Structure 1
């Protein structure tokens, strides 16, 4: 009898029976409840609940645009409701190929490849471009999809302080690996600040590394015509820059993409498990995303309108003594409150005062940094901004923060 079999037998004899396999889950749930970290699924009300939406990622206000609905409907009538297979088998339509091309053209990159989600785009890019002979250098506040991709890459991963270019340079210079990736969000999903992309690219190039930039919160909001943070920084289209993005935010659809040099895209088609073994993006989502790109081209002021609303939201919070990002780079505006229970209370106050807002708690944010996450929308009007200011004033008073005029 092996040692492992002996240990199992001893455990069974001591308790008379195996332990309830769900008890550890119940115990963990009780601990999360005590810490204010339980999460609940709240169905979206279809837009008829009377609350002003400052929680969604619909940055350009296109989710209910009839032009996108028409694009989705036309795609369904042509190709059906499902993609029917992986993109390498039956899941690529002419819509997917057009979307590959148009996303690359918008961002100024050479080629593109659409995935079924932004999460999988990051998994596919980083896990495939990484490996045991590749160092990955990642900002400590990068999105969870980047974190998971780093883990799957089998690379050694160095986590650097937030936006710390010098730390990135040190990690690259001191590495033993032949190859390296530097990975960063373009706009960070909670703080709403922008990565120093030009400096990161200079550091990566000096040390022979690829720079991977997640444009999820930048596409459609940052830069001229919403072409993204890499384009605004002047590095889009460089052969050693790889972009990832999502279609579910500014483009009000679903899916993701990786954009970059032809060699990168060819590698993903040949070797990315997240691409090869996943069902392709459904045709309706591709049709809606293409329609959103049409809207972005015909209404190039939408990105600036979203940024303007974000700056006004941040200014209102700051005037009330609430901690926020003073000059948001895109549409994300955090209001930091500290403890999870304080953030939950503030979220409830917002609901009572007409707002639906995001509430971020650990592990989404570090301990002590629980916050409300307000997302600006290009279509926010003056009446809605007035309601917002009233709700923020209630929060400021409830937390004992001093009011500033």
Structure 2
């Protein structure tokens, strides 16, 4: 079975024998009481990779976003404006803030004018926080972060970027969207899970040292939930080391696979949105039927609403991609 459902885009896998040994998975203490060994060092390395001053680890982006908006709302009135294409986990954090009385506004996907109009609705005396993904795997486009940042700065607000889909894949050294676009500033909070590009189920927030210290001081999950385990921290450290040593080669291999697959789609007369993202969504009339046909031919894909998703990785070979394209051609032409 050819598998195109894994989001381990760079193909990183971290077996137990490849990691530094640990004496216990956890010390039984929340991060607010004692930071797990190695967590500070990994967070600092991630912040540097993303082009930020300081960083902090969380067990997941759910933990991170659960804290992020309410931490700021605890000290000053805020209003949240989020891109309509924002990934669901970020929305869950926004919903918690809304439950605490924070005004929330949604603006059209990647639409700078819509953001400007949304910012006009910010109640007087509230600091605006704009939330977006760095890049969108659904449409395959990079968010207009530079122009979002201009609007944020004009209003004295913050720009929160969920860069999970770009970390490891784009920007200098795989640092993500901020590196890719060459932007930085104290108004930016960069957030990402390492579960895709780096293959580690842990998340980080990075930004100006003052802002990260504020999140740390106000975090609820660092008090009431378990911190990242020693196994996860060790895997994250290894992922950063692998990225330094082999990242360029892995990204080059992945880019070739994406290019080969998209070129094959064009030969079949199939067009898919986007260009460089390793998640390729085929808009088809009957995705369930096509998904079933491909399964019978030994190809596993991902079902989305109105689309069939193919997740390409650096581990796929040219032969894998060619075989998958033959199966797709046969499935599309089947009665």
TM-score (norm 2): 0.91
Aligned position for 1:185: 133
Q: How far 1:372 moved relative to its partner?
A: 1.7
Aligned position for 2:26: 82
Aligned position for 1:195: 143
Aligned position for 2:97: 153
State the alpha-carbon separation in 2 of the partners of residues 317 and 130 from structure 1: 47
Residue number among 200, 218, 221 corresponding to 2:166 in the alignment: 218
State the alpha-carbon separation in 2 of the partners of residues 317 and 323 from structure 1: 7
Query: Conserved in 1, the CA contact under 8 Å of 2:189 and 2:207?
Result: yes
Structure with max Cα Rg: 1
SS of match in other structure, 2:186? coil
TM-score (norm 1): 0.76
- 1:129-278 aligned within 5 A: 129-130=72-73, 133-154=77-98, 155-177=102-124, 178-236=126-184, 238-278=185-225
* Cα deviation digits, residues 168-203 of structure 1 (max 9, x gap): 112113422420111001122433322111111112
Q: How far 1:83 moved relative to its partner?
A: 4.9
Q: Is 1:353 matched with 2:301?
A: no
Q: Which runs of 4+ in 1 moved over 4 A?
A: none
Residue number among 277, 282, 287 corresponding to 1:343 in the alignment: 287
Q: Residues 287, 390 of structure 1: CA spacing in aligned structure 2 closer, same or farther, 3 A cutoff?
A: same
Q: How far 1:278 moved relative to its partner?
A: 1.6
* Cα deviation digits, residues 235-264 of structure 1 (max 9, x gap): 13x111101100211111111111111122
Q: Residues 334, 157 of structure 1: CA spacing in aligned structure 2 closer, same or farther, 3 A cutoff?
A: same
State the alpha-carbon separation in 2 of the partners of residues 128 and 395 from structure 1: 51
Q: Is 1:53 matched with 2:13?
A: no
**Superposition CA RMSD, Å:** 2.0
Q: Residues 85, 319 of structure 1: CA spacing in aligned structure 2 closer, same or farther, 3 A cutoff?
A: farther
Aligned position for 1:281: 228
* Cα deviation digits, residues 204-230 of structure 1 (max 9, x gap): 112211110001010000112211011
Unpaired segments ≥5 residues, structure 2: none
Q: Residues 116, 389 of structure 1: CA spacing in aligned structure 2 closer, same or farther, 3 A cutoff?
A: same
State the alpha-carbon separation in 1 of the partners of residues 298 and 153 from structure 2: 49
Query: Conserved in 2, the CA contact under 8 Å of 1:179 and 1:209?
Result: yes
Q: How far 1:396 moved relative to its partner?
A: 2.9
Aligned position for 2:55: 112
SS of match in other structure, 1:251? coil
Unpaired segments ≥5 residues, structure 1: 1-50, 362-369, 401-405
Query: Conserved in 1, the CA contact under 8 Å of 2:169 and 2:251?
Result: yes
Aligned position for 1:379: 315
Query: Conserved in 2, the CA contact under 8 Å of 1:309 and 1:376?
Result: yes
State the alpha-carbon separation in 1 of the partners of residues 78 and 333 from structure 2: 51
- 1:274-353 aligned within 5 A: 274-301=221-248, 302-328=250-276, 330-338=277-285, 342-353=286-297
State the alpha-carbon separation in 2 of the partners of residues 102 and 71 from structure 1: 19
Number of residue pairs matched by the alignment? 329
